[in-house]
Every structure is written in structure tokens, then in C-alpha cells.
A and B are shown apart, each in its own frame.
Chain A
Amino acid sequence: MRPPNARITRELSRCAQMLVCALILWCAVGSGQSFAQSADDARFRETYRRQYEALKGVAPDMVVMELRDRIELVASRGSQVGAASVAPRVRSFETALLQNLQRSVCGGPSTSTAQNPSAVIEKIHATASVQNLNMQASDVAELAALAQRLLDGQSRERWCLLKSMDDIR
């Protein structure tokens, strides 16, 4: 007959084994999440890069057209029975985005958003939040690439004088 504390020790060790298993499982889930996170980041960068490259040589007013198409897609997402115009939302978003980018480019020294994708991405996020547009990562990546192309295609002086994106040529 084993002493009672040996039995308790055995039970405790089994419980400990189970807990270790649970912890390993937890860690595996955690590392899976961080792996997924880095995969998401890679996908984001790839979407941004592909869109930015695809716009090479495209006239700035055509980039504006693509930007509007993308905003329209986001604003009208959902399984609806028919298409209702989201033109006012598109207009409102592009105006707010232009103002946000102008604040960033024209407010301080000339370095701010020129060839600085993270600053542009931040402006896209900020505008989407204020405009109540629920964006996915791919939307942000594509819009950031479009906005960056627009910034690249205009001189700082010209960009700061823009009244609306209709003036981009």
C-alpha cells in the first residue's frame, strides 16, 4: 500500500502534466497568432508594393479615379439587394484625406510624407476612422499606395495649393 501523500504527489504530477500540455497548446496558439500577424504584415506590404508598381506611368488624374473606385468599394461593401449611390461618402472621404495629407505635407518641414508610406498609412487610418469607413488591411494598403503615387506626382507647392482632388492633373 502506497502512502497517501505519494498518491497525492502522483495526482499532482498528472495535473501538472495536463497544465503543461495546456500551456504548450496556449503557446502554440500564441505563436500561431504571431505567425499569422507577420503573414498579414507581409500580405499588406505585398499589396502596397503591387499597387504602387501597377500605378507606374499612370496619369495622376487616373490615379484619383482609382482612389475613388476603391473608396466606393469600401463604402458599399455588404450583401445588398441593389446599388445605392455612395457618391457623397466618396466625396467626403477624398476631401478629408486631401486635407489630412496637406496638413502633414504643408504644415512642417518638407520631409514629412514624401516617400514615407507609414505616414500616409496613418493618414488613411485616421481619415477612415473620422469618416466611419470600416476598412480591411488590403483597402488601407491599396489606398496608401494610391495616395503615395499622388504625392509623388505633385510638387510640394502644387500639392499644398490643391482645393480638391479634381484639380490633380
Chain B
Amino acid sequence: MRRTRSAALSRWTGAVLICALLCPLEATAEGRSLSIANKLESAGLIDTYFNEVAFEVASALAQAAPKQWRGVLVNRPHRVGWLNIYMIDARRVPEAGMLREEGIDNFTPDNLRAGALAHEDSGTIFLNTTMWKRLAAATVLKQTDVQSDLVAALASVDVMGIDAARKYWDPAALSASTPINQRVGWLMRGALAFVLAHEMGHLQIGRTKTEEPDRLRLSRMTEREKDEARACPELMHSESRQRQKNEQAADLAGVELLGQQCRIGNDGKLRHSIYMLGTSWYFLASMSDKLIEMGRNTDSPFIAQTLRTVMGPKLYEQVVAAHAAEKRRGAVAFAFPSSHPPDTARIQAIDQALRATPCGSEGVESSLAQVQLLDMFRQRMCRRLTGQDSAR
């Protein structure tokens, strides 16, 4: 009897010691989770812009991966195992970022600028509502023929400023039942579907690392060649190549979610068509923004002339010329960012991957012939650059 009691006492002591060692870790994870929503809320960062649409689209996508998430939460207290989405006004996020104490050290305005950011470890997606309002306003300007091109429409919104352009992105105005609002709704919903699918893809694949060889170093390059080198993977930092592969993997994981939508629910086929249309719209907007940046950073008369024609001289002066970079380092770097594969290559890979899914890729505009031609030019340029060096 005594032995049993003392053995039980020992077991209890052991259990208490183990708990004392392990419980703080559990409590920390739970505490971190809880404080994400609290911090965002108290800093006034949460922006309820079409929350219900984000919930609906994310829920439809999550149905294509039923074992991945317990459910979808939009602007709700963070829960481990759920898909947590926060709609953030990125203009209010401090430059230095926040949420570092919660283990999220990449939550900065810069990292939100492209429209969305995923944090794999906490299963969180942040959507930047400023970017969505800007795109919604530009889409209205294009659909109402105020501007004939998306580049010009985005430039117009930038000149107006997001707050002054409110009448174009206001939820109340966009909720009125009109044919134009319906088209705007399709494009925006579809673009959001691609963005969410990509970020959900990141959450699914986690942080993967590939082994990449060190960059090829050229001993000398002209200023023009330095810009051109941005298009050549072998001349890029190995981490850039790693990141590009990770982004491509996220695109393809997102395709798995998008490519099954036609089979989910009664309206699956219509939803799939809308998502395909919106995917193209997202990339068109992304390329439009890059064109504007290219114009600001190059002396190329051809690019200047093209933008002047597309935007009109007044908008060109306001958006491109007035914001021209002090030191124009060239346009290639903007078409070939170091963090992501170029948009043309992304949309082509997405198109091809979608073809292998149950729903196909009909509606995605990747203009394969043009993309292939562009890639041929790129390869020739890179061969010239790397070949030239051995002759130096």
C-alpha cells in the first residue's frame, strides 16, 4: 500500500515536472494565436471591405482541399488549424511592421503592397484592402469606358488617390444591381480567387527550400547589361532562384484548388468561369503596374511612346514623368522581379497546369505564342551576356 502510494507520488512528481517543462510552450503558441486578432483590431488595421465575398471565395477554394483546414475565418479571432484571413488597410501598418512577437516578421506595408501575404507557420493570410479598392475602382473605370485601357485606369486612380476615388470602389455603389456592376463583381471575385488560391497554396506547401548553386559572377558589366542580367536566372542570387521556385509551387498548389471548382456545388461551372476570367484580370493588372514602373525607370523612347499612347499625354506626365526615378536603371528589372517568376511565365505555367485539372483552363488568356517569343528573346540575351564574359 505504501509502495503504491509512493510510486503514485513519484509519477505525479514526474508528470508535474514534464508539464512544467512543456506547458509554457503550448500556452505560448495559443497566446500568440489569440493576440494576432487583438493586435490588428486595437491598431485599427482591420478593414471590413467585402468580407462576405472573401469568406465565400475562400470557403469554395477550401472545399477542394477538405482535409487541410477545419474552416474559414475572416477578420475573426485567430484559431490554429483554421484558415485565418484578415483584411488589412495596409496604409495604416507601421513601416517597421508589427506582429513580430507573434512570430510574423514579414507583416510590413511593403510586403502587403502586391495585395496579399501568407504566413505559413500560423496559417494566416492578410489581404490588403487598399490594393483591392484600387483595382475595383480601375475596373469600374475600364468597364464604364471612362478609360479604354487598364493601365490608364489604374493610373487615373493613382492620380485621384484611393479616398477621392471612393465612388468607384464603394461597396454600396457596387452592390446596386446593374450589368456593369455584375461584370465588375465577376472580375474582382475571380481576381480574389486567384490571389487566395495562391496564398492558400503557400499555406499548403509550407516553406520549402531547394538547393540552388551559387550565382554565376561576371567580372564586368555595362549599366544596361546589369539591368538585362535580371532576366537571367544563372546570374541571380541563389535565394532568389529558391524563392521563384517556391512562388511557382504556390501557383501550382493554387491551381489544384481552382481546377476543381466546376465540380463543387450547383453553380460550379459558372464559378470556375468567373475564377478563370479573374485570374487573367489579376495578371493584366499586375503587368499594367509593372509597365508604369518600367516607364519611370527607363530612358527607352519606345516604352515612353507606348505608355503615352495608352494613357494619354496628361496622365503620362502625372503618373510616369512626374515620378521618374532619379537614377534610371532600366526596365528589365521590373518585368523580371527577383522574388517571383515573370508574370508571362507564371500565367503560362498556370494555364498549362489548369489544363490537367478536371475543370480545364478555358478563359485564361496566356497568349502562348507571344510568351514563347518573349522567352526566346530572353534566352538569347542571357546567352549573349554570359558568353560575352568569357571573351573578356
What separation, in Å, do the CA atoms of A54 and B106 have in the docked complex?
29
**Contact at B95–A132, with CB atoms within 8 Å?**
yes
Given A81-B199, A87-B325, the answer on whether A73 and B239 have CB atoms closer than 8 Å is yes
The verdict on B210 contacting chain A, using a C-beta distance below 8 Å, is: no
What separation, in Å, do the CA atoms of A76 and B110 have in the docked complex?
7
How many residues of A are counted as interface, with CB atoms below 8 angstroms from the partner's CB atoms? Answer: 37
Binds B, one of A34-42, A57-65, A112-120: A57-65
Given A18-B17, A54-B217, the answer on whether A81 and B198 have CB atoms closer than 8 Å is yes
Of the candidates A14, A57, A78, the one having the most CB atoms from chain B within 10 angstroms of its own CB is A78
* Chain A residue, CB-CB nearest to B20: A22
Binds A, one of B167-175, B255-263, B336-344: B336-344
Kindly identify which residue among B214, B219, B237, B343 contacts A59, using a CB–CB cutoff of 8 Å. Answer: B219
Interface residues on B, range: 35 or more
B285-305 residues at the A interface, CB under 8 angstroms: 286, 293, 297
The verdict on B2 contacting chain A, using a C-beta distance below 8 Å, is: yes
Main DSSP-derived SS at the A contact region: helix
**Contact at B334–A85, with CB atoms within 8 Å?**
yes
The verdict on B141 contacting chain A, using a C-beta distance below 8 Å, is: no
Given A7-B6, A11-B6, the answer on whether A82 and B219 have CB atoms closer than 8 Å is no
What separation, in Å, do the CA atoms of A10 and B9 have in the docked complex?
12
What separation, in Å, do the CA atoms of A15 and B14 have in the docked complex?
9
**Contact at A83–B2, with CB atoms within 8 Å?**
no
**Contact at A79–B219, with CB atoms within 8 Å?**
no
Kindly identify which residue among A11, A80, A166 contacts B117, using a CB–CB cutoff of 8 Å. Answer: A80
CB distance from A109 to the nearest CB of B (A): 34
What separation, in Å, do the CA atoms of A132 and B95 have in the docked complex?
7
* Chain B residue, CB-CB nearest to A21: B17
What separation, in Å, do the CA atoms of A85 and B111 have in the docked complex?
10
The verdict on B88 contacting chain A, using a C-beta distance below 8 Å, is: no
* Chain A residue, CB-CB nearest to B340: A83
What separation, in Å, do the CA atoms of A65 and B245 have in the docked complex?
23
The verdict on A75 contacting chain B, using a C-beta distance below 8 Å, is: yes
Binding site for B on A (CB under 8 A): 7, 10-11, 14-15, 18, 22, 25, 54-55, 57-59, 62, 65-66, 69-70, 72-73, 75-87, 89, 132, 134, 166
Extra pairs beyond A69-B240, A78-B106 (8, CB < 8 Å): A11-B9, A54-B217, A73-B237, A79-B106, A80-B112, A81-B195, A81-B198, A134-B97
23 contacts between A and B (CB under 8 A): A7-B6, A14-B9, A14-B10, A25-B21, A58-B217, A62-B217, A62-B218, A62-B221, A69-B240, A73-B240, A76-B111, A76-B339, A79-B199, A80-B118, A80-B339, A81-B117, A82-B114, A83-B114, A83-B337, A84-B110, A87-B325, A132-B96, A132-B108
